[in-house]
Amino acid sequence: MCARDPAQNPIAMNETGLRSWTDRLFDFVPQVVALFGALLVGAIMLLLIGVNPWEAYRAAFTGVFGSKNGLSDMLVKATPLLLVALGTCIAFRANVINIGAEGQLIMGALATTWLAVEMGSAAPAWLLILLCMLIGFVAGGAWGAIPGYLKARLGVNEILSTVMLNQIAIQLGFFLLRGVMMDPAERAAGTNLPHSARLPAVADLPRFTDIAKSLGFTQTAKQLGLDGMTAEFYGLFAEPTRLHLGLIFAIIAAIVVYILLWRTTVGYRIRAVGFNPAAARYAGFRVRAYVVLALTLSGALAGLAGAVEILGLHHRMFEPTSVSAGYGFSGIVVALFGRLHPLGAIPSALLFGALLVGGDKMQRAMQIPQPLVTALLGLVVLFVVSADYWTKKRATRIHVKREPTPAGTSASAGAAAD
């Protein structure tokens, strides 16, 4: 699957005998079919509880694409999903599985909150934000390095250790939020909710609205005489929404991860270690070090997601599981749907952002029980992951058909004929 990836072999572009872009586009057909298959099964479930699926899906669709708030919420949710997915890409490419993004995200959020509250308004906004994101990145990375080290040194299965570290991060978060990090106001009022103090306002990531304002977009869509969809899009910038700069950072991160994996020797080694550790060892790579590195980077990106959530959206730390909000797990699916490619993760994150917001809107509009919405999203995941099988199968077929066979021995048939 990954081998035919055009981006993996950038020299590919100007070689002959390669697959056309339409061919590659077809790779996504099974995924899209799977998506619709999941919605179809979901429709049956909706029918069974007496809800008109057509109306439910329409409510979901208009909920996302019918209002500027819906659109902005989709993008706001896509942001942490994308960052987590990027981390997942790196880990998967090194053939390690990081299920610990939840914990890493929480550690990033905690560290960011702590630094911002401690520093207060001592530093200029840009420096404070930069430092906060950096510490979130480092904290998540450290939380990822632990299972990495355990795997490399002691052979501890990283799936188990990352899952366990999720629990530890959650409880550590509660411990801190009920202790040293608790908002003094909560303590004074005696309510003792596990919240941190609000971060200093200078640490707030600029929202698109604010940027638009400072650039002079002060007129609303109505004043401009725009209607419909155009107005909504314009409104994203000109009218107040929660959309913040984190989205841009996440997209930049996607490009950086792409460059790292396919344009640098470090990325080459990570992928070589992932595909074939024996050959990587033979090539003189320090295989264990690259396993640790991959898990560290993976954790760091999840930590960055936590930092961005705090700085851009919540502006304070509260219940760890509410901050991570399952992004650590959904992000894995986003990465898989994006075919473990950093750039593929971008549309994939948008789609899953839409699904999350749509599910939410559908639940409210149609009075559907929340567990059913969760089940629907689960169905999508199940179908999409299964669809990969068909994509792979097709890839094999194409190869066998396309590759000329030098001297009667080539392709998969070479092995078969022997």
Partner 1 sequence: MADSGLLPSGQKRIDSLAVRGIVKRFPGVLANDRVDFDVKSGEIHALLGENGAGKSTLMKILYGLYQPDAGEILLNGQPIEIRSPGDSMRYGIGMIHQHFMLVDNLTVTENVALGLRSTRAPMLDLEVVEARIRTLTERYQLQVDPKAIVGRLAVGQQQRVEIIKALYRGGALLVLDEPTAVLTPQEVAELFAIMRQMAREGHALVFISHKLHEVLDVTDRVTVLRNGAVVGNVATKATTRRELAQLMVGRPVTFARPERPEINGRVRLRVAGASAFNERGQRLLDDVTLEVHAGEIVGVAGVSGNGQRALAEAIAGLQPLRSGTIVLDDRTITEASASDRIGMGIGYIPEERMHDGVVKDFSVSDNLILRDLPSAHVARNGFLRFKSVAERSRKLISDFQVKTPSLETPIKNLSGGNIQKVIMARELSLKPRLLVAAQPTRGVDVGASEYIHDRLMEQRAAGTAILLISEDLDEIMQMADRIAVMYEGRIMDIVPHAEATLEKLGLLMAGVVPDASDVEAVPA
Nearer Cβ to partner 1 (67/391): 391
Nearer Cβ to partner 1 (322/412): 412
Residue 179 within binding range of partner 1, rule CB under 8 A: no
Distance separating alpha carbons of residues 370 and 362, to the nearest angstrom: 10
Residue 412 within binding range of partner 1, rule CB under 8 A: yes
Candidates 28, 258, 285, 327: give the one binding partner 1 (CB under 8 A): 285
Among residues 108, 249, 118, 217, which one has the least CA distance to residue 169?
Answer: 108
Among residues 102, 103, 142, 89, which one has the least CA distance to residue 328?
Answer: 102
Nearer Cβ to partner 1 (58/281): 281
Candidates 20, 21, 282, 371: give the one binding partner 1 (CB under 8 A): 282
| Dihedral over alpha carbons 129, 132, 137, 142 (to 10 degrees) | 170
Tokens standing for residue 8: 């993996």
Tokens standing for residue 120: 């207060």
Say which residue the tokens 């950038």 belong to.
Answer: 10
Residue 394 within binding range of partner 1, rule CB under 8 A: no
Candidates 17, 155, 184, 228: give the one binding partner 1 (CB under 8 A): 17
Min dist CB 418 to partner 1, Å, is 5
Tokens standing for residue 357: 């917001």
Residue 50 within binding range of partner 1, rule CB under 8 A: no
Site string for partner 1, 111-140 (x = CB under 8 A): ------------------------------
Min dist CB 403 to partner 1, Å, is 5
CA 370 to each of CA 101, 349, 360: distance values in angstroms, whole numbers, following the listed order = 24, 22, 8
CB atoms under 10 Å from CB of 180, counted, come to 9
Distance separating alpha carbons of residues 103 and 334, to the nearest angstrom: 18
Distance separating alpha carbons of residues 187 and 206, to the nearest angstrom: 30
Nearer Cβ to partner 1 (229/279): 279
Say which residue the tokens 């993008």 belong to.
Answer: 75
- The alpha helices in 310-369, defined as continuous H runs, are 320-324, 327-337, 345-366
Q: Which residues pair with 207 in a beta bridge?
A: 244
Size of the site for partner 1 (CB under 8 A): 49
Say which residue the tokens 């409880």 belong to.
Answer: 171
Applying CB under 8 A, the span of 13-21, 22-30, 107-115, 180-188 interacting with partner 1 comes to 13-21
Residue 414 within binding range of partner 1, rule CB under 8 A: yes
Contact, 305 vs 107, CB < 8 A? no
Residue 275 within binding range of partner 1, rule CB under 8 A: yes
Contact, 77 vs 348, CB < 8 A? no
Nearer Cβ to partner 1 (174/389): 389
Residue 341 within binding range of partner 1, rule CB under 8 A: no
Judged by CB under 8 A, the chain residues 368 through 387 that form the site for partner 1 are none
Among residues 272, 378, 301, which one has the least CA distance to residue 89?
Answer: 301
Residue 399 within binding range of partner 1, rule CB under 8 A: yes
Residue 15 within binding range of partner 1, rule CB under 8 A: yes
Applying CB under 8 A, the span of 6-14, 347-355, 367-375, 381-389 interacting with partner 1 comes to 6-14
Candidates 184, 225, 284, 371: give the one binding partner 1 (CB under 8 A): 284
Distance separating alpha carbons of residues 135 and 311, to the nearest angstrom: 12
Site string for partner 1, 233-272 (x = CB under 8 A): ------------------------------xxxx-xx-xx
Candidates 20, 118, 215, 418: give the one binding partner 1 (CB under 8 A): 418
* Footprint on this chain of partner 1 (rule: CB under 8 A): 2-4, 9-12, 15-18, 263-266, 268-269, 271-272, 275-276, 278-285, 397, 399-414, 416-418
